[in-house]
Copies of this chain bind each other. A is one copy, B any other.
């Protein structure tokens, strides 16, 4: 019997593409097996279980996103860098909804550490160099940036902005303006804030 030539990498890539088409929750071992013209049981030679497949999609997505963000950031600084980062992030999430959704699964600590996550965090911090923030403000700012990006993209994807004529693109631009403004003038803690 001719071998199909299945490898973990080919499996992961096919799974990621399937996820973008039908959603991560519908990425199934059986569907992948059909795609490769192979019985589903055979894939368990390459995978521990179905969950591993989703983790691998997440790791692929994290790496791809980090690459695009890095490319977008090259040679930019200040608000220019902020916008480039944000647009690359949103663009990736829109082009690859399944991959992006997979990124949200809870990775166990050691897997997360070896992922492109830390690289991603490092690049976010790099943007803030243009805004001259010290710790712990820098960490707080990184978290707020990431929250805004992820929140916006996530709400946009689930249709949260559909019930109003204002385009998501316009609101996105203004959110970045606002983010830039507040980063340039990061407020001191309020009285009741530690």
Contact = CB atoms under 8 A, between A and B. Distances in A.
A95 interface: no
Contact of A178 (B146, B163, B187): B187
Interface residues of A, number: 56
Interface in A46-84: 79
Contacts of A173: 189-190, 192-194
Given A140-B170, A175-B140, A185-B181, A148 B146 contact: no
A161 B136 CA distance: 13
Contact of A151 (B137, B147, B182, B187): B147
A171 B166 CA distance: 30
A31 to B, nearest CB: 17
A34 B117 CA distance: 40
